[in-house]
């Protein structure tokens, strides 16, 4: 079986009912346009780590299907990471199905996460933007609700009146509107399971929606302007945002940056990370902390200074956000990590990137063949703990299998 044949089987047999339609479509696109042209005809059982590493290097330089003016044929680092994750998961399934002994993606090096810079509207810009939308009767309610809730673009377009609890001032996020495909506007699940949530609205937003409901012409809170029986197209919201930004002479931020603006304002005005994570529908509080670390770090320093003042009676200065900027020009001292020499049978730990460590243990099974076992963690210490627990379990399983074979 070739890798291309296995990926088709993996998509249609193992993944078709486990991921959203949009995710499935993205997987198929990566397989057809990036993976198959390079490795599609390679026999699955003969793939090597070195071969996949060469593939990552090649697809990074020449993997873009349509040449871009700025980037040419070079793929973004995030796309290479997505290709790696797809290959890794598909080959992990192949290992479990005993089609291959080891996962050849283990041990490869992929680009680090290079998130695009978050652009948020500062207080002055936000005030200017609010003045502009106030004059836009058709779009005012939409952008006001977005800036006071931080919903994803598809989520706010997918709101129905049945989701609005006007008595308690709450909104239920149950669905998301996607991009038009084959002339159809898809309406499906939220991005993640935690995306299905209930959020408490600011009083002004509750009042705004109550007034809007009085003149509602359909089931959608924000319907298509020309076809009220349909939800608002997310692309229309993005396009009109650019119009408003140009009109107000503001930076041409992305729609998602309105979400960042809401989150930043919420943290700066005292909302705790757990509440914010639930409100905007992140998988966990860790995700929120990672994305808004520059804000949460400042909050922690401010809290520490306040405690110092109240408990110890000092005159500790409460730091501000701008004090995070380094004032020294010399690079900080750097000492490379020197791993300890590991004893035989204790596995190995590899740092994949700044936030991901891989633990690997490859013993001989009860049949005398090498088999790889892998775990992942965010820190080296956590990875060591998980690896030790996994090794103990694997050894017990091998011992039990050997005993069974003797009988």
Q: What is the pLDDT of residues 59-104, one digit of tens each?
A: 999 888 888 777 788 888 889 999 999 999 999 999 999 999 999 9
140-161 average pLDDT score: 94
Choose between 148 and 359: higher pLDDT.
148
Nearest to 235 by CA among 157, 305, 129: 157
pLDDT of residue 123: 85
Q: Distance (Å, rounded) from C-alpha 200 to C-alpha 169?
A: 6
Q: How many CA atoms lie within 13 A of 339 on its CB side?
A: 11
Q: Tokens representing 174?
A: 């149950």
Q: Rounded CA gap, 89 and 74, in Å?
A: 24
Q: pTM for this structure?
A: 0.61
* pLDDT classification of 330: cutoffs 50, 70, 90: very low
Across 335-359, average pLDDT: 67
Q: What are phi and psi of 184, to 5 degrees?
A: -115, 135
C-beta pairs of 251-254 under 8 Å, 24+ apart in sequence: 251/119, 251/125, 253/119, 253/120, 253/121, 254/119
How far is residue 86 CA from its own chain's centroid? 15
> What confidence category does residue 9 fall into, taking pLDDT thresholds of 50, 70 and 90?
very high
Max mean pLDDT among 12-16, 119-123, 353-357 falls in 12-16
Please report where in the chains the tokens 């006071």 appear, as a residue: 148
pLDDT, average across residues 200-216: 92
Give the pLDDT band of residue 327 (cuts 50, 70, 90). very low
* Total residues found in the chain within this entry: 407
CA–chain centroid gap for 179, Å, is: 19
DSSP secondary structure, 172-197, as one string: EE--EE---BTTB--EE--SSGGGSE
Mean pLDDT of the chain: 83
């Amino acid at each position: 079986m070739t890798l291309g044949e296995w990926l088709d089987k993996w998509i249609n047999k193992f993944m078709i009912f486990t991921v959203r339609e949009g995710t499935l479509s993205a997987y198929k696109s990566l397989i057809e346009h990036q993976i198959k042209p390079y490795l599609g005809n390679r026999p699955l059982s003969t793939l090597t780590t070195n071969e996949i590493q060469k593939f990552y290097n090649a697809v990074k330089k020449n993997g873009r299907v349509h040449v871009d003016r700025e980037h040419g044929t070079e793929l973004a680092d995030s796309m290479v990471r997505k290709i790696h994750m797809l290959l890794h998961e598909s080959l992990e399934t192949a290992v479990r199905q005993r089609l291959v002994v080891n996962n050849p993606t283990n041990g490869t090096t992929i680009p680090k996460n290079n998130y695009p810079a978050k652009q948020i509207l500062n207080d002055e810009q936000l005030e200017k933007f609010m003045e502009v939308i106030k004059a836009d009767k058709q779009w005012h309610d939409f952008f006001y609700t977005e800036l006071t809730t931080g919903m994803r673009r598809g989520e706010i377009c997918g709101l129905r009146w049945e989701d609005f609890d006007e008595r308690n001032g709450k909104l239920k996020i149950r669905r998301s509107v996607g991009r038009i495909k084959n002339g159809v506007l898809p309406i499906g699940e939220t991005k993640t399971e935690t995306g299905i949530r209930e959020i408490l609205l600011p009083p002004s937003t509750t009042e705004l929606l109550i007034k809007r409901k009085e003149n509602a012409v359909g089931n959608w809170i924000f319907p298509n302007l020309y076809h009220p029986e349909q939800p608002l197209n997310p692309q229309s919201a993005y396009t009109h945002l650019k119009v408003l930004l140009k009109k107000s002479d503001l930076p041409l931020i992305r729609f998602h940056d309105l979400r960042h603006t809401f989150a930043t304002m919420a943290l700066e005005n005292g909302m705790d990370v757990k509440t914010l994570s639930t409100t905007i529908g992140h998988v966990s509080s860790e995700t929120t902390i990672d994305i808004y670390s520059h804000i949460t770090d400042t909050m922690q320093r401010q809290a520490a200074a306040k405690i110092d003042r109240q408990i110890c009676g000092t005159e500790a200065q409460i730091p501000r956000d701008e004090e995070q900027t380094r004032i020294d020009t010399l690079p900080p001292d750097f000492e490379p990590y020197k791993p300890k020499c590991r004893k035989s049978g204790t596995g190995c730990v590899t740092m994949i990137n700044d936030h991901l460590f891989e633990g690997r243990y490859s013993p001989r099974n009860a049949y005398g063949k090498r088999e790889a076992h892998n775990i992942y963690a965010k820190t080296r210490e956590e990875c060591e703990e998980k690896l030790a627990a996994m090794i103990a379990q694997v050894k017990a399983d091998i011992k039990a299998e050997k005993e069974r074979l003797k009988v």
